[in-house]
Amino acid sequence: MVETKHLTCICCPMGCQISVDMEDGKVLKITGNTCKRGEIYAAKEVVSPTRVVTTTVKVDGGELPVVSVKTEKDIPKGKIFDVMSVVEEIHVKAPVAIGDVILPDVAGTGVNIVATKNIAKAG
Amino acid sequence: MYDVIIIGAGVTGCSIARELSRYKLRTLVLEKGEDVCTGTSKANSAIVHAGYDAVPGTLKAKLNRLGNEMMGEVADDLDVPFSRIGSFVVCLKNDDPKKLQALYERGLANGIKGLEIITDIDRLHEMEPNLSDDVVSALYAPTAGIICPFLLTIAMAENAYTNGVEFRFNEEVSSVSKEDDGSYVVRTAAGVYNTRTVVNAAGVYADAIHNMVSAKKLHITARKGEYCLLDHTAGGHVKHTIFVLPNEFGKGILVSPTIHGNLLLGPTAVDVDDKEATNTTGAGLTEVNTKCFRGVKNIPTREVITSFAGLRAHEDGDDFVIGEPEDAAGFFDAAGIESPGLTSAPAIGRTLAGEIAEKLKAVKNENFNGRRKGILDPKKLTLEERNELIRKNPAYGTIICRCESVTEGEIIDAITRPLGAKSLDGVKRRVRAGMGRCQGGFCSPRVMDLLKKYRNVPMTDITKSGGKSQIVFGYSKRSEEV
Amino acid sequence: MKNCDLVIIGGGPAGLAAAVSAYDAGIRDILILERDNCLGGILNQCIHNGFGLHTFKEELTGPEYADRFIRQVLERKIEYRLSTMVMDITPDKIVTAMNREDGMFQLKARAVILAMGCRERPRGALNIPGFRPAGIFSAGTAQRLINIEGYMPGREVVILGSGDIGLIMARRMTLEGAKVKVVAEIMPYSGGLKRNIVQCLDDFGIPLKLSHTLVDIRGKERVEGVTIAQVDEHMKPIPGTEEDYSCDTVLLSVGLLPENELSKCAGVALNPVTRGAFVNDRLETSIDGVFACGNVLHVHDLVDYVSEEAASAGRHAAEYITSGEKKSDSAVPVRAVDGVRYTVPTTVDPKLCDEMVTVRFRVGKVFKNSFISVYLDDERIQHRKKQIMAPGEMEQVILPKKTLLARDGLKEITVRIEEA
């Protein structure tokens, strides 16, 4: 039986309303997207959704108490809170630079946590 | 043993405290809030009334006139901004002009100077261009004024404190009892205090305090007044305080500039059972925003930056209750202090302090210094003076509150001076940081940092207004100890 | 008094991009005045990703996006002052500013770019009844507390308003362990971007209640709960629809207001719809040599558009400094009608404008399968179909100079939405 899933594309702020026709877990047809990225997103979102997680990590001896970080690539949506509980425990020492790997392979995702802000040493 | 314990650090209690500090007396002020000026004194019309309103012969009439006369000197001594901008009571097309005349005559009976009924519409509109087109005449009272009720209360408290009065905060009085020797015991959760005399300046709770010692019971009703405060952009909409004549729809909503350049609309008047009910209501705010247009046109109500409600302490006898009850010598009431309580505060203070000093045969405090220097406002300096100040203290070169242009130096002063601010609201009432159009959106994290640093407490102890009003619950990262 | 060719008020995304483009157009004597202690503005606290797709063709977080521009400013050695508050701008472009090191100082600028950004509408501006306890934050204040200062401002949260910052904070607080109970939006549609509704609410099962508002806030000291009610078409609460929520925190995401207090000092004419300056196609305000860009001009949805607009302001300010005010009598008004709330710019001068003029606007309600149309006087010259348009998202049309020039006696340009 063909089942149609409706979703809002999140690849860009356009927010295209995409319809995905599926049968037996397989994608038959994708409509409503206005670019290739939307098609790729929709195909993935209905089967294995992923997200980039952004949060903060405690900094010791920095001019700010926390540094913003992100998962370098998107991770499975179901792993968001696993990532959060790992990241919550980390400390880094200042200075920190954008792109610094704060934690490799977070929560078994194979994806690194990297800094997204420069934090100088306090003082 | 204290000579005097004052219950309540509102404008009345602080005025009495300051006046008592002119004498050699050991005085203690007990306040249930975390700061002075946290009850009725912080949420009212901020008006210094001329005094035509009260029934001749009442304490309200007498103390209003006296208080108004004293206010200029008090404000000057205490470095508190005050301006006699004058007020109008406007009479509209369908109003009864006899009522305006009656008000005028009442004013004369009360000894109010300068009153005038103006029927020349052109002159009225010249004096006040935004008066409603329905206005046909007005009672002009040039001695009416506007003042900052926070700064008046704070200044009185600071001045009392530097002249030797003790203050204890977060101490709610649970009982007052008379001892056999005629002295009193005042209890709070934190302590037991012996005193020769007690002053009851407990605002909406003054009946409860009074009734602890007197069989002649008082009954105070909390009368809620809701207000809207408009941004500086609307501050010049009227130049005087505009009242409308009371009619069948009630007392009417006043429209007034504030001493800090905002526009104030309010109050409503609704009796409430809960004496803590300082919440605004949908109906109240709607009333303010519609009825304000009776006397004044084109009010830019969309420039509203905040709304608030205050509770007036209305006593059943409809007058101030001042002095010793017959059956409780040494216990002095300052109860039922509703409008014109702010105006009357200096006079209530002087009257009661005089009575108490006489009772206690107190001698003058030779070291009393009635002058108090307010927090330096760099906006009043010239460019050169300001630069000199910043060179000496760079904190005056950093703006913390953008909307009201408040510098770090002023905020540090507010926190570190005698009886300094302990909370965001405390800072706000002293230097207006967070009082502007963004209502603390930008500056509150920075003011919190300064409170943390200069009070040397953890961030989780920083509150909006004391008690359980903490602002942050801890750190966002679990690895940090809270 | 010191002279300066170009003073830029604000070192956020708009100010940075304007500085870089003015520099690249040949201006060297530039000074950026920034009130915070670092460049980058509000992007520093917007740690979520999604920035820069248009500008850099990749998804960056706010601080990373800011850093790209900060580096360009540093590479060009453009002068800037941090922790410096501009106190006044006069109509003849004397800028008074203050900081700890220099005290109060004045600069005579040849051109000024206004790039002060915007602020959040506070609770007080909404007349929400109730108590005034601790725990009521504008979403941006909560964002700063969490992302910059590292504090948790609440545990159980109700959010009023579905602006983007509110949506972002719903997710952010959820990730940090808070329980976001509901997002209430008074309008029948969200004010935020679609992707944020999906990623910030749907992902975490946070309900969005459209046509709902706060009718009471309880708690004398700290927030203890709120009441939410459905509203009718006049946005008045419907009795009987009240629902109580217990919470310790209320976040407000109920709109952004351009911060134009300084613009008013300078005498700049403001558009009551955007609350930003009226500008021409060169982004010049009613005062010669005073330009505006970014959220101080009109609130944008995407920072990429801020950068683009600011670059244009920088270029035109440079042109003004080099060649003086361009005078012409050929400017025509741009009218916003039929669902278009406003346009930026509000006038276009076919003789003086760029080869392509970008006109940005927002619609007043949700439109589906409708057309964005541009008329030169009575003739429709553009008619572009859009599947969906919403007030939360900025739209634009591009007007070629040669099309405008080709029409003799052009009186007005009209942008309207035409429903299918």
Name the residue ranges covered by the structural domains of chain B.
2-41+149-219+317-359, 87-142+221-315, 378-461
Query: Quick one: A111 and A65 in the same domain?
Result: yes
Q: Tell me if A89 is assigned to some domain.
A: yes
Residue C194 to residue A117, Cβ atoms within 8 A: no
Q: Is the dihedral of CA B406, B408, B410, B411 positive or negative?
A: positive
Distance separating alpha carbons of residues C333 and C349, to the nearest angstrom: 9
Distance separating alpha carbons of residues B101 and B95, to the nearest angstrom: 12
Query: Which residues constitute the domain of residue A43?
Result: 3-47
Selected from 2.130.10.10, 3.30.450.70, 3.40.50.300, 3.30.9.10, the CATH number assigned to the domain covering B87-142+221-315 reads 3.30.9.10
Question: Which domains does chain C show, CATH number per domain?
Answer: 1-119+256-326 (3.50.50.60), 122-254 (3.50.50.60), 329-420 (no CATH)
Residue C61 to residue A17, Cβ atoms within 8 A: no
Q: Which helix (H) or strand (E) holds B207?
A: helix B206-213
For A84, nearest residue in chain C (alpha carbons): C175
Give me the percent of chain C exceeding a pLDDT of 70: 100
Chains touching chain C through at least 3 C-beta pairs below 8 angstroms are A, B
Q: What average pLDDT does this structure show over B442-471?
A: 95
Flag residues of chain C having pLDDT under 50: none
For the cut 90, the answer to whether the pLDDT of residue B480 exceeds it is no
CA–chain centroid gap for B278, Å, is 15
Give me the percent of chain B exceeding a pLDDT of 90: 94
Best probe of the C interface among B453, B463, B476, by most C CBs < 10 A, is B476
CA angle C303, C305, C309 (to 5 degrees): 120
Query: Quick one: A60 and A100 in the same domain?
Result: yes
| Residue of B475, B476, B479 with shortest CB distance to A91 | B479
Q: What tens digit of pLDDT does each residue of B149-183 get?
A: 999 999 999 999 999 999 999 999 999 999 999 99
Query: Quick one: A76 and A29 in the same domain?
Result: no
Choosing from A26, A47, A68, the residue where a domain stops is A47
pTM, whole model, 2 decimals?
A: 0.94
Q: Are C237 and B282 in contact (CB under 8 A)?
A: yes
Q: Does A85 touch chain C (CB under 8 A)?
A: no
Q: Does B43 touch chain C (CB under 8 A)?
A: no
Distance separating alpha carbons of residues B62 and B320, to the nearest angstrom: 10
Distance from CA of C402 to the nearest CA of B (A): 43
Give the ipTM of the model, two decimals please. Answer: 0.93
Residue B478 to residue A66, Cβ atoms within 8 A: no
Asked if B240 is an active-site residue, the reply is: no
Query: Quick one: A8 and A29 in the same domain?
Result: yes
Distance separating alpha carbons of residues A38 and B108, to the nearest angstrom: 81
Selected from 3.50.50.60, 3.40.50.1000, 3.30.70.560, 3.30.450.70, the CATH number assigned to the domain covering B2-41+149-219+317-359 reads 3.50.50.60
For the cut 70, the answer to whether the pLDDT of residue B14 exceeds it is yes
Which residues of chain A have a CB within 8 Å of the CB of B477? 56-58, 66, 88
Distance separating alpha carbons of residues B283 and B300, to the nearest angstrom: 20
Interface residues of chain C, partner chain A, Cβ below 8 Å:
44, 47-50, 53, 59-64, 67, 146-150, 172, 175-176, 193-195, 197-199, 203, 301-302, 387-388, 393
Q: Tell me if A82 is assigned to some domain.
A: yes
Confidence of residue B249 (pLDDT cuts 50, 70, 90): low
Q: Tell me if A21 is assigned to some domain.
A: yes
Which residues of chain A have a CB within 8 Å of the CB of B478? 88-89
Selection from B257, B343, B341, B334 nearest residue B71 by Cα:
B343
Query: Quick one: A35 and A58 in the same domain?
Result: no
Kindly report the three-state secondary structure assignment for every residue of chain A: CCEEEEEECCCCCCCCEEEEEEECCEEEEEECCCCHHHHHHHHHHHHCCEECCEEEEEEECECCCEEEEEECCCEEHHHHHHHHHHHCCCEEECCECCCCEEECCHHHCCCCEEECCCECECC
Number of domains making up chain A: 2
Predicted pLDDT of residue A44: 87
Q: Which helix (H) or strand (E) holds B213?
A: helix B206-213
Tell me the fold of B378-461.
Arc Repressor Mutant, subunit A (1.10.10)
CA angle C224, B187, B166 (to 5 degrees): 90
Only one residue has tokens 């405060």, namely: B229
Question: Digits of tens for pLDDT over chain A (123 positions)?
Answer: 888 988 888 776 567 889 999 998 889 999 999 889 899 989 988 988 999 999 999 999 999 999 999 999 999 999 999 999 999 999 999 999 999 999 999 999 999 999 999 999 997
Distance separating alpha carbons of residues B35 and B233, to the nearest angstrom: 30
CA angle C362, C364, C366 (to 5 degrees): 100
Upstream peptide bond of B340 is cis (omega within 30 degrees of 0): yes
Q: CB burial class (10 A; 0-12, 13-18, 19+) of residue A108?
A: exposed
At C224, is the secondary structure helix, strand, or coil? coil
Which residues of chain A have a CB within 8 Å of the CB of C193? 13, 15
Which residues of chain C have a CB within 8 Å of the CB of A53? 175
Q: Which stretches of C202-305 are assigned E, i.e. beta strand?
A: 208-210, 212-218, 225-230, 243-246, 249-252, 256-258, 290-292
* Residue B46, phi-psi category: left (phi > 0), alpha (psi -120 to 50), beta (remainder): left
Predicted pLDDT of residue B482: 40
Query: Quick one: A71 and A95 in the same domain?
Result: yes
Sort strands B263-266 and B220-230 into parallel, antiparallel or unpaired: antiparallel
Length of chain B: 482
Q: What is the DSSP letter of C338?
A: T
Q: What is the DSSP letter of B6?
A: E
Distance separating alpha carbons of residues A18 and B310, to the nearest angstrom: 54
Give me the percent of chain C exceeding a pLDDT of 90: 88
